[in-house]
Amino acid sequence: MSTSATISYQPKTEFNPITISSFKAYDIRGELGVNLDEEIAYRIGRAFAQILHQRHSTVSKTHDNDMTNLKPAIVIGSDIRHSSEQLKQATIAGIIDAGIDVIDLGMTGTEEVYFATSHYQALGGIEVTASHNPINYNGLKLIKEHSKPISADDGLAEIQALAESGKFTTDNPSGKLKLLTDKSAYVDHVMTFIDTDKLKPLKLIINSGNGSAGPVVDLLIEKLAQADAPTEVIKLHHAPDGSFPNGIPNPMIEANRVATQQTVLKHKADLGIAFDGDFDRCFLFDERGEFIDGSYIVGMLAQAFLNKYPSESIVYDPRVIYNTEAVIEEHNGKAVISKSGHSFIKQVMRDSGAVYGGEMSAHHYFRDFFYCDSGMIPWLLTIELLSITGKTLSELVTGYIAAYPSSGELNFRLTTYDSPTIISAIEDKFSNEQPIKSTLDGLSLNFGDWRFNLRASNTEPLIRLNIESRGDQPLLAAKTQEIQQWLATQGAVPA
């Protein structure tokens, strides 16, 4: 659908310097009325567009084909939060005042912006979302050409500085706004990841969390039906509702998993699927209603891709590695480790040409999806894998879990020391045992039969701990207790 659109936000004409504290390592995330509002969104949109346009103009003079073919436009979408449309309107106004055209995608998930940025050959893209954060928060996720990420070290700080200063160029003709809400090209592309002829009868529970996933889920279900796939889908918390009557879409919170688990058991389903607010992550439950930790899904999808694409590279993060490395070695793939965080994973995947990358946080990245993460592709790949193997999800992952048990990610708030001090102290604590050390992301110490990773969060004032062992659950439990007790002596309390 393509229609004309109007902008409801009317910006100021003069801009005094301000401080914007909602910029984070990878995106903008803030509390409404505190460090994020419509004026801030306008400034960010205008700064983003001005900087991308200047960069495009400069690089195009070098006749770089990757840049010269781009259109002077930015795509934008927003999630279902009540505040998102207003923030989007303000951001659009900023982009247009910078002289850049805007393609408004309507209500979207983040991955739809990833797709559209490359599909429309735009200069960049913005998703207005706070994902899984509380309802009084919102934010903006920014990407540049070819759906490449922007981080604090790669343009985000420059955007922040310009937005704060308000020193925008003023001699631009206004950009134009077009509304393009047709999702068919995106849905068709997502469906290319599976062979629907291989699908066997399966019953699925899909919990859209009253978030933005519902409309896309409906379109994918329609595609499955058109392909005569014998897939039955029971929808849960499906209708988009920005008031989130069933809680914030965040399946990482155990209480938020109960509805999906109970519905799987009630209907004797083969698989449960749940999404976060902008559905760039999906979370899986087996036929027993058990939540499957993301690190084991990484191993499962790595196996699925290596079966299709032998000897390819697989990228993974250093928080939990034993199972993923074992799967890659067993299936003759190439293991490529990366610092966690989407900008790092995506760059390492581009550098290595990896077919797939996964993080234990339930972010899954795909070479054929512009090296971006998607929450829709993993569950489609999973139903294809269940169909091909004839196994249940529990049968696919139980062996992984037994062979390489892990603690799951444990989060701690710091009350006494900062994270560098604690990380240095824990290295000293274990130095006599001479573990193999890595500082790729925080601190990883590998003792052979067990290991741990301790790192500061990139997005929250937390320190995060992951522990795993090689098939030794009592050892895992003992080491988890030991390190938790030690962290308590350092003023780190469970979050």
- Residue positions annotated with a catalytic role: 131
137 close to 32: Cβ distance less than 8 angstroms:
yes
Rounded to 5°, the CA angle 145-148-153 comes to: 110
The whole-angstrom separation of Cα 12 and Cα 96 is 14
Q: Which of 323, 353, 348 is nearest to 338 (CA)?
A: 348
Q: Quote the tokens at residue 391.
A: 């196994």
> How many whole angstroms separate alpha carbon 461 and alpha carbon 151?
18
Single out the residue of 74, 162, 178 nearest to residue 126, CA to CA.
74
Helix, coil or strand: residue 136: coil
- Residue indicated by tokens 């739809």: 112
Distances (CA, A) of 28 to 12, 366, 445, 452, 455: 21, 24, 32, 30, 21
Amino acid at 203: K
Instruction: List the one residue out of 306, 328, 299, 494 whose CA is nearest residue 406.
Output: 299
**Structure-token match 């997005």, residue found:** 459
Question: Dihedral (C-alpha) 383, 386, 392, 394: value to the nearest 10 degrees?
Answer: -70
Residue type, 148: K
